[in-house]
Structure 1
């Protein structure tokens, strides 16, 4: 029998994810990305900002340190525990929840961010539910910033296999299959320890085109969507990442 997709995601976004990605996008890089996203979202100084999904807090923590009232949401208790550890003197609020059912009242936040390809894991219909939930908890005129891989860029850079050195003698083997018609990437990541021990996790991602994701945002209740090529507002192109800024009706 095929593994349950949600079980596969829960297994990937836990301790395994921390060991692979915990040292990436840390420090100044994460702070700069977070600050740029908050500016693009138009979040006012000291405003209420939702980071969904927040993972281990790489963006939520520097945003809270910058004075925003940050709430980070993630399904993974393991990642949230790490986010709280990293927060230190910063004061984000971290909430365990499935982002299809956000435990907040309507119009609770000034802005929201969804960064580092944190959508595409649930299928078109369920991903649209995620976006609709974010729209529901944003105030009128509030903006969501989505930063993601997109299909056209994936076609240009796709590799079936890649190796990365993670430090301390550890290697990561990434094996992928990509269907450019459906936009689905099937990936298995294998972490190889310094002692040769191997651990693998598999997952799939729906890599949307800009057109598809813009249509989903409008179907979710946003009335204006603008595409950029990065968090600093550069023009979008097939060779850039995809950044969408979506506004709720005023």
Structure 2
């Protein structure tokens, strides 16, 4: 006979009836953003397009370029002009134009299902260029479905060059890639891995070596190497670090 799990073991926190005042706190959405920032290694910030300013900047150091989060918050868009190389500033301008053209054509509230991702360089306090990946998705739309506020997530890019501009639709495999030369969005097929390839990639993510993976899934090390090569080919990467980064960024694992 199976033992029943005592529900009190799952959480000690018991909440009674919620007051109207407590419900009103839902409007303080920045607390949710701040909570998320505490849980992730990535840098988080929020753009307010009405004020053309940053509304929130996390204290995760990657995006700060040696500044404090408060300093970056106060800089707003000036942060880009001070910490992004000229060539990449021009790239960001193209991305802004093409991204909003794409966004404007989407129907109503479905706009919230889309996110854009791209890579550009930041110049840190030592003058070194760091290639970062930037993801942006809507938080709030206006009544006429314009983008009002957006959440942005910054992490180290797994690519070697700036660009790599894609739009993803949540809950689907739909991906659009921007051809910078012709300023045209084209739909592409998201890479798919077999069950075995996913298994090997996840075991690598756990820190296992080729020999350890081979032992765990009862195959020869050369078989693991064969699947690794297939993973690299499918994802368009050259090593396991890039493969893991790609898989995480694209929600493959």
Q: TM-score, normalised by structure 2?
A: 0.23
Q: Relative CO higher for 1 or 2, CA cutoff 8 Å, sep ≥ 6?
A: 1
Q: TM-score, normalised by structure 1?
A: 0.23
Structure (1 or 2) with the greater strand fraction: 1
